[in-house]
Amino acid sequence: MSTPRRDPRSRTVLRVGPLKPSLEQTLTERYGALDLPEEPGERATLLSAHGADVAAVVTSGRTGVDDGLMGALPNLGAIVNFGVGYDTIDVDAAAARGIGVSNTPDVLTDCVADTAVGLVIDVVRQFSAADRYVRAGRWVADGNYPLTRQVSNKRVGIIGLGRIGSAIAKRLNAFGCPISYHNRNAIQHSPYAYVGSAVELARGVDVLVVAAAGGSETQHLVDTEVLAALGPSGYLVNIARGSVVDETALVQALADGQLAGAGLDVFADEPNVPEALLTMNNVVLLPHVGSATVETRAAMEQLTLDNLDEYLTNGRLVTPVVEPAG
């Protein structure tokens, strides 16, 4: 027997963590959303006064929702995530509690794949380093910049051939790069070569691109052994989650000259970047901007609101990761 649904306009929405300013504004103005305070005392006050009213949460990968917060929201039915990665949401706890979870797939695939290709080109051709060379007056003082390496035809290995990994493969394939990949399972009819482990994949490529989802299953999948297999002439690019790479091992490998370079859009403890990386000229550092274009962020915002509306009016989600219980 299903419970009768309440008027969607009367249902309470809670914003958890900072979001795109225009999305925050819409949530406040159109939905009368409450904001979860960061300060523990204020948070406890809000939760005891309104926790039982909350039907839906809107959050992002920066903040997420843990089991404890779900427990303080006994009538929560959906967690709507701004972003494709949902590793900061305890999805097992949500599923066990019958809480639906949505994300924003597809709309950001192109921009994140573009970012990966940008990082591959930048780290292999050393464009950021060469730019610094010009700005420092070194072209005049020291002459031509040293030769770098060619991008076209490099062997590329992709960890995580999902939507984004496949879009990266398609782009780099057009550069003449032979593509191989590692996933938990081989993808049927994929045009790319499947490799059974991350170490084996790293051993056979020049550039290793990390595009796997974050979370406990992929934690430190790229470890000392994988980096050693990639070797002193290999490059690592990560546009996925900092947690997939053992950052301490990465810094060590770079410091020891055991890796040619790294292009990183994501880090283990954002926005903090290991101090040692800041002075390495063969490392390109981006502040998690993979999806950060006007077009893509607008599309992510729209899909977030579509999921919220669909849940509040029909009890369903447009792009569910976990289906809400009926």
Contacting ligand 8YV (CB under 6 A), which of 84, 107, 199, 286? 84
Closest CA to 221 of 258, 183, 171: 183
> CB within 8 A of 325, min separation 6: which ones?
77, 98, 99, 100
H or E stretch at 285: strand 283-285
Residue 316 in the binding site for ligand 8YV (CB under 6 A): no
User: Residue 54 is encoded by which pair of tokens?
Assistant: 């909350």
x/- map, 277-306, ligand 8YV, by CB under 6 A:
-----------x-xx---------------
The HSE-up count of residue 122 (CA atoms within 13 Å, CB side) is 22
Query: Which of 43, 50, 62, 171 is close enough to bind ligand 8YV by CB under 6 A?
Result: 62
Report the DSSP pairing between strands 320-322 and 100-102.
Answer: antiparallel
- Residue 108, interface with ligand 8YV (CB under 6 A)? yes
Q: Does 218 bind ligand 8YV (CB under 6 A)?
A: no
Cα–Cα distance for residue pair 102/82, rounded to 1 Å: 9
The only residue of 60, 126, 128, 307 in contact with ligand 8YV, by rule CB under 6 A: 60
| CB nearer to ligand 8YV: pick between 191 and 287 | 287
If one asks whether residue 165 binds ligand 8YV (CB under 6 A), the answer comes out as no
Separation CA 228–CA 234 (nearest Å): 9
| Nearest residue (beta carbon) to ligand 8YV | 83
Strand 235-238's sheet: what is its strand order?
193-194, 179-182, 156-159, 207-210, 235-238, 261-264, 283-285
Q: Which residues are catalytic?
A: 241, 270, 288
Shortest CB 61 distance to ligand 8YV, Å: 4
Rounded least distance, CB 179 to ligand 8YV, Å: 23
Q: For 211, how many CA atoms within 13 A lie in the half-sphere containing its CB?
A: 32
Nearest residue (CB) to ligand 8YV, 63 versus 180: 63
Q: Counting contacts by CB under 6 A, is residue 61 touching ligand 8YV?
A: yes
Which of 51, 64, 77, 85 is close enough to bind ligand 8YV by CB under 6 A? 85
Should residue 195 be labelled a site residue for ligand 8YV when binding is judged by CB under 6 A? Answer: no
From the CB of 152, what's the least distance to ligand 8YV, in Å? 28
Binding to ligand 8YV by residue 16, rule CB under 6 A? no
Environment class of 166 (CB within 10 Å of its CB; exposed 0-12, middle 13-18, buried 19+): buried
Q: Which residues bind ligand 8YV (CB under 6 A)?
A: 60-62, 82-85, 108, 288, 290-291
